[in-house]
Amino acid sequence: MHERQRLVLSHPIDLDDIPELCERARALFDRAGRGLVDCDVGALDEPDAVTLDVLARLQLAARRRGRRLRLRGACGELLDLLAFVGLDDALPCGCASGLEPSGQPEDREQALGVQEEADPGDRAV
């Protein structure tokens, strides 16, 4: 049985790093057993478009080899960027993202919705 493989990404990722990162990842995917490969992104605290590009390429390479990539240690900004560009389903994050739901709804907070006010000039129907 294969031990779960792990890929670690550190910041900053430069455009020139993409081919080497992808090659390293492909080699890891070929060695990994079928299924899930964890990608530690905890060091990517200032993600940008290059970060998203690399992560999407890595997921594509993993899927082409019958694997799936799961992000671990993603910061809130990375999670927000993934959701904003629509990659949050394609690049799932594991439970170790470091984010837990926090906060409570404020007391007496009104439900969101459309509220109408009466205009004194309007006739009642």
Q: Which amino acid is at 39?
A: C
Distance CA 70, CA 41 (A): 10
**pLDDT one-digit tens code per residue, 70-102:** 999 999 999 999 999 999 999 998 854 344 333
pLDDT band with cut points at 50, 70 and 90 for residue 123? low
Q: Is 107 exposed, middle or buried (0-12, 13-18, 19+ CB in 10 A)?
A: exposed
For residue 29, count other CB atoms closer than 10 A to its CB. Answer: 21
pLDDT at 69 exceeding the cut of 80: yes
CA 5, 31, 22: angle at the middle one, nearest 5? 80
Dig out the tokens for 95 from the structure. Answer: 């439970």
Locate the domains of the chain by residue range.
20-97
Distance CA 8, CA 6 (A): 7
**pLDDT one-digit tens code per residue, 101-117:** 333 444 444 444 444 44
pLDDT at 59 exceeding the cut of 70: yes
Dig out the tokens for 77 from the structure. Answer: 């900004």
Q: Is 78 exposed, middle or buried (0-12, 13-18, 19+ CB in 10 A)?
A: buried
Q: Which CATH number fits domain 20-97: 3.30.750.24, 1.10.3720.10, 3.40.50.800, 3.40.50.300?
A: 3.30.750.24
User: To which residue do tokens 């993993």 refer?
Assistant: 62
- For residue 39, give the H/E element and its range: strand 35-40
Q: With 0.75 as the threshold, say if the pTM is over it.
A: no
Distance CA 120, CA 123 (A): 8
**pLDDT one-digit tens code per residue, 9-51:** 987 888 898 899 999 998 888 887 777 889 999 999 899 999 9
